């Protein structure tokens, strides 16, 4: 049985949404963050050597890392859905945004979060600010030319990107007020029935800044 181990207010909300979009059978186990500090509890950390969200289990398999989990679930249970094939005209764009989400954009948001929490005097501040500006400009442009990051249809590129545009940006202090295409996209995602079902299950207390609240 596929089990999604979801840590509250974390990247693992992506995997809950993915399962709901695919309409597959899965078990959801939700873990609250510690009461003394906003970290994963010990039983969540024990799931995987890195002690980070997300994590899935599937029989004897234990798998971490958002991108790897998306690829695994789609290949094993998705019947080709949400992942354009190499002959699809959107194939390359899908690949770019899927990998760029964490490798570049997510990393930039993390650097912004660290600088926000006492790193203003860091000589890297200017580099990070410029990198962030370039990233948001590129995202706004993409959503002005395509309905979804992967192109014509929702793909796992969107599954990866939406967290960074909602809960992830809340950690960094970023805003989307000056990006009308981003705002419209987030509203479209928030209206999707599968997304709403996922967030109702993953964040029932409504604390996380999901697309249903942005």
CATH of residue 156 = 1.20.1050.10
Q: Is residue 140 part of a domain?
A: yes
- For residue 162, what are the domain limits? 91-192
Say what the pLDDT of residue 171 is: 75
For residues 3 and 27, is the Cβ–Cβ distance under 8 A?
yes
For residues 18 and 159, is the Cβ–Cβ distance under 8 A?
yes
- Euclidean distance between CA atoms 18 and 54, whole angstroms: 12
Say what the pLDDT of residue 120 is: 58
Structure tokens at 35: 């009461």
- The reported pTM is 0.93
Closest CA to 210 of 163, 161, 171, 177: 163
**100/173 same-domain check:** yes
**6/77 same-domain check:** yes
Q: Is residue 208 part of a domain?
A: no
Tens-binned pLDDT, residue by residue, of the chain (214 aa): 999 999 999 999 999 999 999 999 999 999 999 878 778 999 999 999 999 999 999 999 999 999 999 999 999 999 999 999 999 999 999 999 999 999 999 999 988 887 876 555 677 888 888 999 999 999 999 999 999 999 999 999 999 999 999 988 877 777 899 999 999 999 999 999 999 999 999 998 876 778 777 6
**116/179 same-domain check:** yes
β-bridge partners, 27:
3
Say what the pLDDT of residue 4 is: 98
Say what the pLDDT of residue 169 is: 82
**103/69 same-domain check:** no
Q: Is residue 95 part of a domain?
A: yes
* Number of separate domains in the chain: 2
Say what the pLDDT of residue 134 is: 96
**66/130 same-domain check:** no
**148/102 same-domain check:** yes
Q: Provide DSSP, the chain.
A: -EEEEEESSSTTHHHHHHHHHHT---EEEEEPPPSSSSS--HHHHTTSTT--S-EEEETTEEEE-HHHHHHHHHHHHSTTTTS--TTSTTHHHHHHHHHHIIIIIIHHHHHHHHHHTT-TT-TTHHHHHHHHHHHHHHHHHHHHH-SBTTBSS--HHHHHHHHHHTHHHHHHT---TT-HHHHHHHHHHHT-HHHHHHHHHH-TT--S--TTT-
Say what the pLDDT of residue 166 is: 93
**35/114 same-domain check:** no
Tell me, what CATH number does 37's domain have?
3.40.30.10
Task: Find the angle CA(94)-CA(165)-CA(113) to the nearest 5 degrees.
Answer: 120
Say what the pLDDT of residue 130 is: 93
- Euclidean distance between CA atoms 65 and 84, whole angstroms: 21
């Amino acid at each position: 049985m596929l089990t999604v181990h979801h840590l509250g207010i974390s990247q693992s909300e992506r995997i809950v949404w993915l399962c709901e979009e695919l309409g597959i059978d899965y078990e959801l186990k939700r873990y609250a963050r510690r009461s003394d500090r906003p970290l994963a509890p010990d039983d969540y950390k024990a799931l995987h050597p890195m002690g980070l969200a997300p994590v899935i289990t599937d029989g004897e398999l234990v798998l971490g890392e958002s991108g790897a989990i998306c690829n695994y679930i789609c290949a094993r249970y998705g019947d080709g859905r949400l992942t354009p094939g190499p002959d699809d005209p959107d194939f390359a764009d899908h690949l770019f945004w899927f990998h760029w989400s964490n490798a570049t954009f997510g990393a930039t948001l993390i650097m912004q979060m660290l600088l926000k929490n006492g790193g203003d005097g860091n000589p890297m501040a200017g580099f990070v600010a410029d990198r962030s500006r370039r990233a948001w400009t590129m995202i706004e442009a993409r959503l002005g030319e395509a309905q979804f990051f992967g192109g014509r249809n929702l793909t796992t590129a969107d599954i990866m990107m939406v967290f960074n545009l909602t809960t992830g940006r809340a950690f960094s202090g970023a805003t989307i007020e000056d990006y009308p295409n981003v705002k419209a996209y987030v509203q479209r995602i928030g209206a999707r029935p599968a997304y709403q079902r996922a967030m109702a299950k993953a964040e029932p207390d409504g604390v996380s800044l999901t697309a249903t609240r942005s």
